[in-house]
Structure 1
Amino acid sequence: MTRPLYIDVHILQNVPPSNLNRDDAGSPKHAQFGGARRARVSSQAWKRATRLTYAGGLPEADQATRTKKVAALLTERLQEREELGQEDAARLATALLGPLGITMSRTKSEETSYLLFFGRRQLDAIADLIGGEARELLSKEDKDLADSVAKLEIEAELMRSHPDEVALFGRMVANRPEINVDAAVQVAHALSTHPVHSEFDYYTAVDDENTKAQTGAGMIGTIEFNSATLYRYATVGLHQLHANLGDSDANAEDTAAAAERFIEAFAKSMPTGHQNSFAHRTLPFAMVVALRADQPVNLISAFEQPIHGTNGLASASAARLAAEARTTSETWGSAPLKTLACYPTLDEKTNKQLGEAFGTSVPFPKLTAQVRAAALSWLANGALS
């Protein structure tokens, strides 16, 4: 396997009034940190937003899907490829999924009992294993059909040629660890750098067909919201990503490109909770990418003491992040091999701090291109150029 290289991504992002990720009561998620209540966006919410943004730039055939409807999707492919009726295709699809230990739901007969994450091309490859023998297989009794299908390399197809999304985010199947894929990406829960108090938006909707004699709202309600400067963190294990994509010199370019696209997708993605109500689409205020050969380092400790202020919080958060990065490197002897950053022009003192900690700011497209070049160099030489 390639020597370990971790690509740490640190983002500060201002988010206006919003409810990005709500709990079971409809309230924005929060957490206690450093003795203060913070706004929180779960890692699951931002991973899904990142994955959808990432997939949006790929041809559909190269995308992955996470679904309980794998049997239905496989049935559709068998109907098309083998010219089968729906009932015969469904029987054959169920048999093909049997060796994977995938059982159907007891409550919804058309769904499997758990979500499975796989590539669309992988499902096509499983369907292609039939090779025109569908009708011969269907002529057999269930036991003989299962025995025949068990000889096909179904599990192998699910473990080869992983799409980028599966290679990045991994796959976990509790009762079939043989088809698990170790994730190359870890994403932290986003936390505000400062204390947060929720507010409520009281809204009304007017019935357009009311006459002058009909007064009052057609509907009333409330939405809880907050606003925050968030610290976001993710890390990519380049070596694990390379292994998941094949671990060969031939796929070094694909691995580097996937790492670059992940950084772009993570930076530009946004969870969609109540998006139509708040239009909370923002881009990061500042971003730092640190390439490390020792271990990933989350710099959330920069904000264990919450930031307070009435004249903006992002600039102070950036200065605090720079100080924490330098302290961590000096105290623990754990400096990154290379640091790249993209941040705005701020006051002279803050920009000096950021420059000393992270180097000169570069435009985002140049930053991602430099990450890709560094990844290629590492995969080729085990060192950064």
Structure 2
Amino acid sequence: MTKFVQFHLLTSFGPSNPNRDDQGRPKQAMVGGAPRLRMSSQSIKRALRGCSRFALDLAEHMGTRTKRLPEKLTAHLVAQGATEEKARQVAEKVASVFGKLESTPRSGDGKVLTTLAFISPDEWAYATQLAEAVANGDPLPTDKELKKTVLRRADGAIDIAMFGRMLADDSGYNREAAVQVSHAITTHRAQSEEDYFSAVDDLNQEAGETGAGHIGEAEFGSGVYYEYVCVNLDLLEKNLDGNKELAARGIEALVRGLSQVTPSGKQNSFANHPRAHYILAECGEQAPRDLSGAFFDAVTAKPLMEKSVLALEKTREDIEAAYGKSCDKSCVLHVGQSGTLEDIVAFVGSAVRGG
């Protein structure tokens, strides 16, 4: 049986715009006929990958998502003494195992990958070593051998193991994500608002001028967000080639990040640095289920946070009454009520290590 860890978080945001749409407004969704503010799962995963817990605690186990591998390999080979032309030819051939290449106005005489490639530290090292060998006169492997030399189906890249990757040109090296992240939505009705602002020209007064040097509008919103995350522990360990300790460190970093990290849109304007007010962590072999149904009917009573907690817990109880146990063990952090972040971290670490 597959073991899962599930997280349910409630976090309050003051006026902010952490995740914008194409017009600069907070992203939104219509849920149960009521407008809600929303943060996309992709923006949340990007924030997690860039947070200090991953960057510091797991620095040697983080992948790189980029189109610019050919450029980086070319620069490396030139620094090793290869000519620009030779370095570019070798780098582009080696980089092609990750996808098709194209020329762009920004790539100059070289090429970049047409799509973002998620490259593990091992793959980056193997690509570099192979490029160096070919630049020094070794024969270039065939396309099939090239892939076998560089690409890996499982390795030590914790973020690729968690969030997966797709290589369009060779699905055999795709990685199924072990961590599923929902779009976060407000538990209640919420819409964006407009902030009309002006900026003063510091030298206007000296010139005898009055009025603003610039005027504009910025949109923002606020609310209590529900977020759900599901981790397939067996798949996570498999994606890490059986490294249980690395899987445990990864999920510990994940829950620390989820509790404290948010997408960084308009951060300097709104300084939104909330911490989760409520975290429910669950572990078991039962089929996963989210609790977003608690908020299909928007919460209306005050205080919004505590009423959201009650709605979530009531929905959990009702589902268990109808379907049976949803987990074997659980742990709760409820600010001002019970539990600590370290309790949650110890709980998920033990779930992976088998305690």
Match of 1:9 in 2: 7
**Coordinate RMSD, CA, aligned:** 2.1
Question: What do the CA deviations read for 1:32-74 (whole angstroms, capped 9, x no partner)?
Answer: 1111111111111111111111432246543211111011122
Residue 87 of structure 1 is aligned with which of 74, 85, 88?
Answer: 85
Instruction: Assess if the C-alpha contact under 8 Å between 1:118 and 1:158 holds in 2.
Output: no
Alignment of 1:1-385 (within 5 A): 3-53=1-51, 54-58=53-57, 60-80=59-79, 82-105=80-103, 108=107, 109-129=110-130, 132-137=133-138, 151-152=145-146, 154=148, 156-212=150-206, 213-247=208-242, 251-309=243-301, 311-345=302-336, 361-377=338-354, 385=355
- Say whether the 8 Å CA contact 1:167–1:183 is kept in structure 2: yes
Measure the CA separation in 1 of the matches of 2:276 and 2:60: 31
Per the normalisation by structure 2, the TM-score is 0.92
Where 1:287 maps in the other structure, the secondary structure is: strand
Amino acid at match of 2:167: V
CA deviation profile, 1:203-244 (whole Å, cap 9, x unmatched): 111111112511111111011111100001111111110010
Q: How far off is 1:341 after superposition?
A: 0.7
Q: Distance in 2 between matches of 1:146 and 1:132?
A: 9
Q: TM-score, normalised by structure 1?
A: 0.85
Aligned-pair distance for 1:118? 1.1
Q: Distance in 1 between matches of 2:164 and 2:42?
A: 13
Aligned mates of 1:36, 1:279 — CA distance in 2: 27
Alignment match, 1:382: none
How many aligned positions are there? 350
> Is the CA contact 1:198–1:224 (under 8 Å) kept in the aligned structure 2?
yes
Q: Which amino acid aligns with 1:295?
A: A
Residues 60, 368 of structure 1: alpha-carbon distance in 2 compared, 3 angstrom cutoff:
closer
Asked if structure 1 preserves the Cα contact closer than 8 Å seen for 2:252 and 2:345, the reply is yes
> How far apart are residue 292 of structure 1 and its match?
2.6
Q: How many angstroms apart in 1 are the aligned matches of 2:60 and 2:74?
A: 17
Instruction: Tell me the SS of whatever aligns to 1:200.
Output: strand
The answer to whether the 8 Å contact 1:241/1:255 transfers is: yes
Query: Does the 8 A contact of 1:171 with 1:180 survive in 2?
Result: yes
**One-letter amino acid of the structure 2 residue matched with residue 24 of structure 1:** D
Cα distance in structure 2, aligned partners of 1:187 and 1:59: 20
Distance 1:60 1:169 in 2: 16
Q: Is the 8 A contact 1:62 1:121 kept in 2?
A: no
Q: Distance in 1 between matches of 2:196 and 2:95?
A: 50
Distance in 1 (CA, whole Å) between partners of 2:289 and 2:250 is 21
CA deviation digits over 1:68-113, x for unaligned, max 9?
Answer: 1011122233345x43233322211112123444323466543211
Deviates more, 1:287-296 or 1:183-192: 287-296
Deviation at 1:266, TM superposition (A): 1.9
**Residues in 2 aligned to 1:298 and 1:58: alpha-carbon distance in whole angstroms:** 29
| Identity score, percent | 31
User: Per-residue deviation at 1:5?
Assistant: 1.0
| 1:92 to 1:193, Cα distance in 2 relative to 1, 3 A | same
Q: Which runs of 5+ in 2 are unaligned?
A: none
Q: Could you tell me how far apart the structure 2 residues matched to 1:67 and 1:273 are?
A: 21
1:333, distance to aligned residue in structure 2 (A): 1.3
Structure 1 window deviating more from structure 2 (21-30 vs 52-61): it is: 52-61
The whole-number CA distance in structure 2 between the counterparts of 1:77 and 1:125 is 13
2:91 and 2:57 map into 1 onto residues whose CA distance is: 27
Q: Which amino acid aligns with 2:300?
A: H
Post-superposition offset of 1:260: 1.4
For residues 238-265 of structure 1, give each alpha carbon's deviation from its aligned partner in whole angstroms, at most 9, with x where no partner exists: 1110010003xxx211111211111111
**Does the Cα contact within 8 Å between 1:99 and 1:154 map onto a contact in 2?**
no
How far apart are the structure 1 equivalents of 2:91 and 2:345?
42
Aligned equivalents of 1:118, 1:188: Cα separation in 2: 24
CA distance in 2, matches of 1:89, 1:60: 28
Contiguous gaps of at least 5 residues in structure 1: 138-144, 347-360, 378-384
Deviation string 1:127-170 (CA, Å, 9 cap, x unpaired) is 22356452324xxxxxxx65557534545543342411111111
C-alpha distance in 2 between matches for 1:17 and 1:316: 20
